[in-house]
């Protein structure tokens, strides 16, 4: 997963559409992103719950770093992970 980093982010009192998209992501929408994260070196068990947790954490970190461009930034990082392994990106955009 790369280096562990601590970041304090003020969360809104209620989730906006972006947080609902991230935190409400069903497990069946996480496998493709989890597979790319595995290409990037993430250790993720082959269980839907683990794949969902890893995907949500990955997306939430991008949201916390840049609430405006988090989707594009996440997509760019996922593409770089796939490219580094010479694999075709197997996910759709993170907002699909």
Residue-wise pLDDT tens digits, 2-28: 455 667 778 889 999 999 999 999 999
In whole angstroms, what separates CA 82 from the centre of its chain? Answer: 14
Q: Dihedral, CA atoms, 52, 54, 59, 65, nearest 10 degrees? A: 150
Is the C-alpha dihedral spanning 8, 9, 13, 16 positive or negative?
negative
Alpha helices for 9-89 (secondary structure H):
17-23, 31-39, 48-65, 70-84
pTM above 0.85, yes or no: no
- In this structure, what DSSP letter does residue 29 have? G
Over range 58-83, report the average pLDDT: 95
Mean pLDDT, rounded, of the chain: 88
Over range 39-44, report the average pLDDT: 96
Please tell me the predicted confidence (pLDDT) of residue 85.
Answer: 82
Any idea where the domains of the chain sit in the sequence?
A: 33-96
Cβ atoms of residues 64 and 9 within 8 Å: yes
Please tell me the predicted confidence (pLDDT) of residue 94.
Answer: 58
């Amino acid at each position: 997963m790369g280096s562990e980093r601590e970041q304090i982010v003020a969360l809104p009192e209620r989730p906006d559409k972006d947080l609902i998209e991230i935190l409400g992501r069903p497990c069946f929408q996480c496998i493709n992103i989890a597979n790319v994260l595995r290409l990037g070196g993430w250790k993720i068990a082959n269980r839907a719950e683990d794949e969902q947790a890893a995907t949500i954490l990955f997306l939430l970190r991008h949201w916390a770093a840049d609430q405006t461009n988090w989707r594009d930034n996440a997509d760019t990082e996922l593409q770089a992970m796939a490219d580094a392994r010479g694999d075709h990106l197997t996910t759709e955009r993170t907002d699909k």
